[in-house]
Amino acid sequence: MRRTFLLIVTVLLITIAGCAGGLGGADNADTDHDDEATDDHNEDEDQNESETDEPVDDSDDVAPPPDPAGDLEIHHLDVGQADSTLLVTPDGETVLIDTGDWRQNGADVIDYLEDLGVDRVDHLVATHAHADHIGGHAGVIEHFETNGEGIGAAYDSGVAHDSATYENYLDAIEEHDVELFEVIEGDELPLEDESLEATVLNPPEGDSGTDLHYNSVTIVFEFGETTYLTTGDAEDAAEQRLVDDHESDLEADVYLAGHHGSSTSSTPAFLDTVSPDIAIISSDFDSQYGHPHDEVLEEFGERGIETYWTGVHGDIVLATDGEEIDVETTSDFSTDADDLLDEKPREQDDGESYIIGPGVSHVTGPPIANS
């Protein structure tokens, strides 16, 4: 049975914002390093909740979704060392999952959506509270609430974070009176376009602690015969739980690689279960963390997974009628994971990174981090 969404009472957000820490905190220290095991700074900052009057339909006797009448578009925005994905249904309903890095404050995401003619975000999802995922949430909310048709509702894991970026996100929610729902496994996004189903598989029900990655919002989207899986920064422990508890729900045609292609995610057991035909990696080309990690690209290559990387391909747009999937990218390059592995910047003996990009060769910057 699915649990109802929990509505964050607006007045309680004031209390949370006051407890979340000073605005002077440096957000670049907030992005997620691969060796982070836990987020131990948010014990007392979980969002307060009260039950909403708008429950999710938890009926077990539900008619199957209608056959798609048009294409579902899935846009993976090239936002550097960050994540942002936009889904647009045949009816024009929009789901925006994450909004890029805090340094842009949503500007690049807003520009992209405006170029598409999007004037409303119906569903705004935060997979987790790190600044490379919710960095543009405050800016996106402010823009569409003042210059567009608004934000329909926002969704997150309910696990708070002590950062200025997270505090700004909650402030924007409060200022513009946006409904904020906490989601857990079994919930469904209340989409009006019935041809698309969006089922939450993570975070788990019950007390799952305060680790942001373990509680990263994971959603499987079903559109006709096409399935798309996004896991945010869920790592090996969360992936194993998903395999143990939701094995039958995980198989997907398209998989947005967890944690920017880090080796902390996309474990062999998880990939065995998901068995994707296509994988998308969202990370900077010269990632300071070395994303995507070699092990992940090697695993994708061995499995013959058609692989796209925003750092090389730019914006990556999938369009599906529910059966066939077409992919368009800003830049043309091989989708063989082995070729992408060869394309990665490599640390040289002099301690610098030699970057070989599409049509570009030069020496730049300090050594890439391999954490």
Per-residue pLDDT of the chain (371 residues; tens, 9 = 90+): 333 343 333 333 333 333 333 333 444 445 444 443 334 334 344 444 433 334 344 445 556 777 888 999 999 999 999 999 999 999 999 999 999 999 999 999 999 999 999 999 999 999 999 999 999 999 999 999 999 999 999 999 999 999 999 999 999 999 999 999 999 999 999 999 999 999 999 999 999 999 999 999 999 999 999 999 999 999 999 999 999 999 999 999 999 999 999 999 999 999 999 999 999 999 999 999 999 999 999 999 999 999 999 999 999 999 999 999 999 999 999 999 999 999 999 864 444 444 433 333 222 333 333 33
Give the pLDDT confidence score for residue 69 in this predicted structure. Answer: 83
Rounded Cα gap, residues 298 and 146, in angstroms: 46
Rounded Cα gap, residues 32 and 130, in angstroms: 7
Non-local (6+) Cβ contacts of 257 within 8 A are 265, 266, 279, 280, 281, 282, 292, 296
Cα dist from 85 to 70, 82, 357, whole Å = 20, 10, 24
Give the pLDDT confidence score for residue 199 in this predicted structure. Answer: 98
Rounded Cα gap, residues 271 and 99, in angstroms: 26
Q: What does residue 82 show for φ and ψ, rounded to 5 degrees?
A: -165, -175
Give the pLDDT confidence score for residue 75 in this predicted structure. Answer: 98
Domain boundaries, the chain: 19-24+46-54+68-347
Give the pLDDT confidence score for residue 60 in this predicted structure. Answer: 53
Encoded tokens for 177:
């009176």
Question: CATH for 19-24+46-54+68-347?
Answer: 3.60.15.10
Residue 291 · residue 303 · CB < 8 Å: no
Give the pLDDT confidence score for residue 68 in this predicted structure. Answer: 84
Rounded Cα gap, residues 152 and 155, in angstroms: 10
Hey, what amino acid is at 273?
T
